[in-house]
Amino acid sequence: MRLFTNVLLVAAIGTSVFGADSLLEKAKSYGLEPIPGDIDELMSYINDKNDPISYPKIELGKKLYFDPRLSKSGIISCNTCHNLALGGVDGVSAAIGHKWTMNPHHLNSPTVYNSVFNQAQFWDGRSPHLADQAQGPIQADAEMAAPQELVVSRVVSIPQYVEEFKKAYGKNVKITFERIASVIGVFERTLVTPAPYDDFLNGNENALSAKQKEGLDLFMEKGCTACHNGIALGGTMQPFQVASQYKFISLGDFTGDEDGMVKTPTLRNIAESAPYFHNGGIWDLEEAIKEMGSVQLGIDISDKEAKSIALFLDSLTGRKPQIVYPVLPASTKKTPRPSAD
Amino acid sequence: MRLFTNVLLVAAIGTSVFGADSLLEKAKSYGLEPIPGDIDELMSYINDKNDPISYPKIELGKKLYFDPRLSKSGIISCNTCHNLALGGVDGVSAAIGHKWTMNPHHLNSPTVYNSVFNQAQFWDGRSPHLADQAQGPIQADAEMAAPQELVVSRVVSIPQYVEEFKKAYGKNVKITFERIASVIGVFERTLVTPAPYDDFLNGNENALSAKQKEGLDLFMEKGCTACHNGIALGGTMQPFQVASQYKFISLGDFTGDEDGMVKTPTLRNIAESAPYFHNGGIWDLEEAIKEMGSVQLGIDISDKEAKSIALFLDSLTGRKPQIVYPVLPASTKKTPRPSAD
């Protein structure tokens, strides 16, 4: 009854039932943080002293990110599974790679957008950062299936790539597999998507609708922020299956890391990145919210509550950086040929 | 000896051995035509009264061109095999599609760039224009494998796509499979790439180097323009295997159309679109030039001549339109799910 009264009140006066300040303070006290509006503060997150950001690196990293010649077959790029046109994902339950092979643990491709804010990469968190992460899928038999030497041979056979590495890292650069993955990581670090949610946390109280503010409050009250917190609203390792077994999806053979921990996915752009969970087992966001309540929190979330939280999650759909599709340098006689086998 | 003297002369005075006018006139007399520098004249080629060009159509067509949800699996788009980053091709000998299936006739993906200038589409020329052509690969089992109804269901399940169709075609638009393919065709018609070659034919005599001018003259003298003429330097149906059997590549089971005719590929961006021929059987451009001399013209082209012609063909590498990678509208609960089977 109280909620109903509040809803009427909101409809009547056109503003939130929450004082914006109090909801903002509450969100901060629950560990929610915006993508910084201040560019220097933002740079403190997306820069990395091990491979400092620069325009030549971003441009080169972008080219390599989109270049299918980094795969054995020549037709799979980073962007195939982490598609920047589709919320940074592939939109299928389990990644499909070389020779149409499904991910052996039936794992769903996480979004590359805002992955710089994750404290660990991969579902089992085995990788500390993007420069390391990018080495994995390129080599994995079920993904791009390219041995390190093949990747390096392809890149160094293309003079424009060599020139761009020199421009980015100096004329004595050694083009190693690790260097290639690292510059892809530089590009990926720029893929941040500020959203209405951030505008709200950064002080624009009108950035969220009244219903979204209600959803945000419910999101906190229900305990979602226990795992979905920080800038990423996720990205940290958390215990897998705390309260109960999954109801609707089968766990498969993936059990997280050796301690049974799993990386909490970011909720940013979640409305664009179905299907959900490590195995892509649920396609509907409200259903996913209810399942998480049951599995992780041991509570029942009603249809109405799930809808409210989903409305809030819509506010995490961010403004994407404008990406000019690259024109990649042509292969040469020396470029190792693709192989579909 | 005369050539050697000419080369010295060129080196000495820094201009062509050919009067630019005479080479230009000769090129025209051999049926070579530039991409028009005049925008109205250009529009007379790329517009189509059956589906007149407009910005909303181009933008919508671009989105659909890049949208892998037009395939059954959800992971193959038009751009997968006609990659705008890679000269409009996939860079493999035969296209690989749904379930990692090779093109059943081992046919190589032709470039989409400048395909508007082709008089026929597909290797066997069975399609008269791009709006028709785009219907083929979407449905083909070995390519995107999507039945027409599935494609239409996916598109109409996404409200933003419906809105964009209304914006492009009026509020009473019927979103049919043919309409979807046609608007993709509108986008494809814009993919023209003016090159130094065009600048030369349009009157800038310094747009080609002296060696490229020699190569152009040789290209004409050897008879290449018998098939490679017009704006596309190709794109018309020609007899297949005129003079002899292929030396280096196997013909496979592709024999052209019912009259043994095959679509001559465009030579535009040829330096970027290896491998060559209908079956992608040759990777090296100079080798391909020699093979064509032998097979189609019944002549021997020397290594030196092939190199000269290849230098000329470099002048056909064009300036690509800048493509902003689209942000595609998200799927909804109603969107039919992808299937990898």
Dump pLDDT digits (tens) for A90-142: 999 999 999 999 999 899 999 999 999 999 999 999 999 999 999 999 999 99
Whether residues A73 and B96 touch (CB distance < 8 A) is answered with: yes
Q: Which residue of chain A comes nearest to B69, CA vs CA?
A: A91
- The alpha carbon dihedral of A315, B332, A287, A308 has a sign of positive
B284 and B274 in contact (C-beta within 8 Å)?
yes
Among A327, A334, A335, A337, the residue to mutate for chain B (most B Cβ within 10 A) = A327
Could you tell me if residue A305 is inside a domain? yes
Choose the mutation target among A325, A332, A341 for the interface with B, i.e. most B CBs under 10 Å: A325
Residues B55 and B34 in one domain: no
- Residue labelled with tokens 């499979």: B177
Domain final residue pick, B189, B210, B244: B189
Instruction: Give the integer Cα–Cα distance in Å for B140 and B38.
Output: 38
- The domain boundary, picked from A189, A211, A244, lies at A189
Full residue range of the structural domain in which residue B132 is found:
48-189
Same domain membership, residue A183 and residue A54: yes
**Nearest Cα residue in chain B from A81:** B75
Taking the C-alpha atoms of residue B4 and residue B1, their distance in angstroms, rounded to an integer, is: 5
Partner-chain contact B87 A331, CB within 8 Å:
no
With a pLDDT cut of 70, the percent of chain B lying above it is 91
Distance of residue B74 Cα from the nearest chain A Cα, in angstroms: 7
Answer yes or no: is B198 within a domain. yes
Q: Which of A160, A178, A162 is nearest to A170 (CA)?
A: A162
Q: Give the helix/strand (H/E) hosting A280.
A: none
Q: Which of A143, A188, A214, A305 is catalytic?
A: A143
* Per-residue pLDDT tens over the stretch A7-51: 333 333 434 456 667 999 999 999 999 999 999 999 999 999 999
A163 and A267 in a single domain? The answer is no
A334 within domain boundaries? no
Q: By the 8 A CB rule, do A84 and A323 touch?
A: yes
Nearest chain B residue to A324, by CA: B324
Q: Is B8 on the interface with A (CB under 8 A)?
A: no
Same domain, B299 and B167: no
Average pLDDT over residues B198-205: 97
Euclidean distance between the first and the last CA atom of chain B, given in angstroms as a whole number: 65
Closest CA–CA distance from residue A60 to any residue of chain B (Å): 14
Q: Are residues B172 and B281 in the same domain?
A: no
Q: Mean pLDDT over all residues of chain B?
A: 92
CA distances from B262 to A131, B113, B122, B250 (A): 48, 19, 9, 16
- Whether B294 and B243 have beta carbons less than 8 Å apart is answered as yes
How many Å lie between the alpha carbon of B98 and the closest alpha carbon of chain A?
A: 8
Instruction: Give the DSSP H or E segment for A97.
Output: strand A96-97
Tell me the pLDDT band of B18, cut-offs 50, 70 and 90.
Answer: low
Mean of the pLDDT values across residues B65-91? 98
Q: Which residues of B touch A322 (CB under 8 A)?
A: 324
Phi, psi (5° rounding) for residue B324?
Answer: -80, 125
DSSP annotation string for A157-194:
TSHHHHHHHHHHH-TT----HHHHHHHHHHHHHT----
Whole-number pLDDT of residue B15: 44
A143 annotated active-site: yes
Does the CB of A341 have a partner CB in chain B at under 8 Å?
no
User: B341 at the A interface (CB within 8 A)?
Assistant: no
Strand, helix or coil for residue A121: strand
Report the residue of chain B nearest A158, measured CA to CA: B272
* Per-residue confidence (pLDDT) for residue B250, from 0 to 100: 63
Same domain, A53 and A167: yes
Report the gap between the CA of B323 and the closest CA in chain A (Å).
6
Say which amino acid occupies B285.
Answer: L
Please identify which of the residues B25, B33, B41, B143 carries the catalytic annotation: B143
Across the interface, of B283, B325, B331, the residue whose CB is closest to A84 is B325
Q: What pLDDT is stored for residue B258 in this prediction?
A: 84
Q: Are residues A240 and A144 in the same domain?
A: no
DSSP H or E segment with residue B102: strand B101-102
ipTM of the complex in this document: 0.92
- Asked if residue B338 belongs to a domain, the reply is no
Q: Residue B240 and residue B258: Cα distance in Å, rounded?
A: 11
CB contact under 8 A, B91 and A85: no
Q: Does B84 touch chain A (CB under 8 A)?
A: yes
Q: Is the dihedral of CA B38, B42, B44, B47 positive or negative?
A: negative
Q: Which residue of B has its CA nearest to A317?
A: B330
Q: Of A155, A174, A189, which residue sits at a domain end?
A: A189
Do B55 and B183 sit in the same domain of this protein? yes
CA distance B145 to B104: 13
Residue A330 near chain B (CB below 8 Å): yes
DSSP per residue, B241-303: S-SS--SSS--TT---STTSEEEPPP-TTGGGS-SBTTTT-B--HHHHHHHHIIIII-----H
Nearest to B323 among A74, A325, A330 (CB): A325
Q: Does the beta carbon of A336 lie under 8 angstroms from any beta carbon of chain B?
A: no
What distance in Å separates residue A263's CA from the closest CA in chain B?
Answer: 24
Q: What is the CATH number of the domain that holds B258?
A: 1.10.760.10
Q: Determine the residue of chain B that is closest to A89 in CA distance.
A: B75
Establish if A115 belongs to a structural domain.
yes
d(CA B211, CA B216): 9
CB pairs under 8 A between A and B: 93
For A220-239, give the DSSP string.
HHTTGGGTS-BTTT--SEEE
- Residues A162 and A103 grouped into a single domain: yes
Portion of chain A with pLDDT greater than 90, in percent: 85
Of A92, A327, A330, the CB nearest to B320: A327
In DSSP terms, A127 is beta-bridged to A121
A323 touches chain B (CB under 8 A): yes
Of A96, A327, A337, which has the smallest distance from its Cβ to B283's Cβ? A337
Task: Write down the residue that tokens 């323009």 correspond to.
Answer: B225
On whether both B150 and B277 belong to a single domain, the answer is no
Residues B176 and B247 in one domain: no
Closest CA to B105 of B255, B231, B242: B255
Q: Per the CB < 8 Å rule, is B324 touching A322? A: yes
Q: How far is CA A115 from CA A266, B7, B34, in A?
A: 8, 57, 47
Question: Contact at 8 Å (CB) between A170 and A181?
Answer: no
Is the Cβ–Cβ distance between A315 and A197 less than 8 Å? yes
Q: With beta carbons less than 8 A apart as the criterion, state whether B91 and A69 touch.
A: yes
pTM of the complete model: 0.93
Q: What is the pLDDT of residues A262-311, one digit of tens each?
A: 999 999 999 999 999 999 999 999 999 999 999 889 999 999 999 999 99
A333 interfaces chain B, CB cutoff of 8 Å = yes
Torsion of CA B111, B79, B93, B264, to 10 degrees: -20
CB A27, CB A205: distance < 8 Å? no
Are the beta carbons of A331 and B274 separated by less than 8 Å? Answer: yes
Q: Do A85 and B99 touch (CB under 8 A)?
A: no
CA dist list (Å): A34 to A37, A67, A266: 8, 32, 13
Contact B291, B246 (CB under 8 A): yes
The alpha-carbon radius of gyration of chain A (Å, integer) is: 21
Inspect the interface and report whether the beta carbons of A327 and B284 lie closer than 8 Å: no
Kindly give the residue spans of alpha helices, DSSP state H, lying in chain B. Answer: 2-13, 20-29, 39-46, 55-66, 78-81, 130-133, 135-139, 148-156, 159-169, 177-189, 196-201, 210-221, 285-292, 303-314
Based on the fold, state whether residues A142 and A167 are members of the same structural domain. yes
Best of A331, A332, A334 to disrupt the B interface (most B CBs within 10 Å) is A331
Q: How far apart are CA B139 and CA B126, in angstroms?
A: 16
If one counts the domains in chain A, the total is 2
Neighboring chain B residues of A70 at a CB cutoff of 8 Å: none
User: Has residue A67 been placed in a domain?
Assistant: yes
Question: Could you tell me if residue B334 is inside a domain?
Answer: no
Structural domain contains residue A282: yes
Q: Is the pLDDT higher at A247 or at B23?
A: B23
Task: Pick left, alpha or beta for residue B326 (phi over 0 → left; psi -120 to 50 → alpha; otherwise beta).
Answer: beta
Per-residue pLDDT tens over the stretch B244-263: 676 656 666 787 888 888 99
How far apart, in Å, are the Cα atoms of B73 and each of A117, B99, B100, B174? 30, 9, 11, 25
pLDDT digits (tens, 9 = 90+) for B277-321: 999 999 999 999 999 999 889 999 999 999 999 999 999 999 999
Kindly determine whether residue A331 and residue B75, on different chains, have CB atoms separated by under 8 Å: no
Q: What is the mean pLDDT of residues B174-200?
A: 98
Give the pLDDT confidence of A291-304 residue by residue, as tens digits: 999 988 999 999 99
B100/A340 Cβ within 8 A? yes
